[in-house]
Amino acid sequence: MKIDSEHLEILAMIVDRGGLTEGAEALGKSQPSVSRTISNLEKRLGQPLFDPGKRPLQPTEFGRALAEVGMRIHKLNQEAVAIVDGFQRGNVGHLRIGGTPLFMDGVMATMFADFQDQFSGAQFDQTYGYFDSLVSKLRNRMLDMAILPLRADQIPMDCDFQPLMPGRNVIACRKGHPLVRKGPITLQEIESYSWVSPPADSPVFRDLKAAISSIGAEKFKMTFTGGTLASITSFLARTDCLTVLPYSVVYLMKETGAIVSLPIKVEHPDRRLGILSRKGEVLSPVAQALVPFLQEQCDLLERRMERDQQITHRRA
């Protein structure tokens, strides 16, 4: 005999709440419909579920045993509803996100952590890459989205791009660097220091060469090339070398006090950091929640950096 799980759940609520009316209210049903369900269930099972004539209602041993099963069903239904609600609200979900290493480690990881603090059911699977590999993984559905800096003419025709921040670079060094303690910095002083370069396939590698050229330096040498953000900053922290990094990355590292930016204007790239996704595809609820969150966080970061840089240039 197959028993309708909803009927067992109704029985459980009546037993748990102590009456037909209370059980009906707990389930959002009318008292007459609940009474009919229990009456029909007793007829079908051939045994009473409640002791006849007793008030308040007292379940029989048979009725209590079935009510215990019904309560387990009720709790599982509540769990299922919570899962559905979490996915629909973007509170729960798994995201596969790829991005360029400097931005992912220096900026996005912090924002992902803040998002997860609000949406505790969100799970991130983060990978690294640059333009070609990230676009390939998007097209092959190995990623849900990619976060990387792009020019307008680089956006693939089969992808959507949502900008987060404009490109902005700075010359960075260790906090105790001799140039940090100086007033106006001359070109000759910069040329006496060697440079740390990001990986050759990184967009910031090309930015570094452009930035050095933009300040008029013709002679420069690379002391350290490649590596992760952690290795670049560790090398900078122990030497007097200079490097070019996105200002957002340096700005968010200033709390550690190890790496700072110099008050020197350099040429900024004509790119914007943004979110790349498959064109026209509806993102999952958790991704739909993440996108505006990142936009808001990047807007706040941009305003903070703008104020900080204005203060720095006035002092310089």
What CATH code is carried by the domain that includes residue 147?
A: 3.40.190.10
Task: Determine, yes or no, domain membership for 267.
Answer: no
Q: Which tens digit of pLDDT belongs to each residue from 103-155? A: 999 999 999 999 999 888 889 999 999 999 999 999 999 999 999 999 999 99
- Which residues lie below 8 Å from residue 46, measured CB to CB, with a gap of 6+? none
Task: Determine, yes or no, domain membership for 207.
Answer: yes
**300 conformational bin, left if phi > 0, alpha if psi -120 to 50, beta if neither:** alpha
In angstroms, the CA 68 to CA 19 distance is 16
Q: Are residues 147 and 201 in the same domain?
A: no
Give me the CATH number covering residue 22: 1.10.10.10
Single residue among 88, 123, 143 that ends a domain in this structure: 88
pLDDT at 151: 93
> Stretch 2-25: mean pLDDT, rounded?
90
Q: Are residues 35 and 177 in the same domain?
A: no
pLDDT at 311: 64
A 10 A CB-CB count for 64 gives: 15
- Which residues lie below 8 Å from residue 257, measured CB to CB, with a gap of 6+? 175
Query: Number of folded domains in the chain?
Result: 3
Secondary structure class of 81 (helix, strand, coil): helix
Single residue among 88, 106, 125 that ends a domain in this structure: 88
pLDDT at 166: 93
pLDDT band at residue 299 using 50, 70 and 90 as cut-offs: very high
Residue 3's alpha-carbon distances to 6, 56, 113, 181, 228, in angstroms, are 9, 26, 46, 81, 61
Q: Are residues 253 and 175 in the same domain?
A: yes
A 10 A CB-CB count for 189 gives: 12
Q: Which tens digit of pLDDT belongs to each residue from 52-94? A: 877 788 999 998 999 999 999 989 888 888 777 767 666 678 8
CA proximity to 41, closest of 72, 71, 9: 9
| Torsions phi, psi for 301 (to 5 deg) | -65, -40
A 10 A CB-CB count for 221 gives: 9
In angstroms, the CA 120 to CA 91 distance is 7
Angle at 88 between CA 85 and CA 90, to 5 degrees: 105
Paired with 222 in beta bridges are 195
Q: Are residues 77 and 99 in the same domain?
A: no
Single residue among 72, 88, 104 that ends a domain in this structure: 88
Q: Which domain holds residue 287?
A: 93-164+272-315
In angstroms, the CA 177 to CA 33 distance is 79
Task: Determine, yes or no, domain membership for 266.
Answer: no
User: What is the identity of the amino acid at 209?
Assistant: K
Q: 243-246 and 169-174 as β-strands: parallel, antiparallel, unpaired? A: antiparallel
pLDDT at 213: 75
Task: Determine, yes or no, domain membership for 150.
Answer: yes
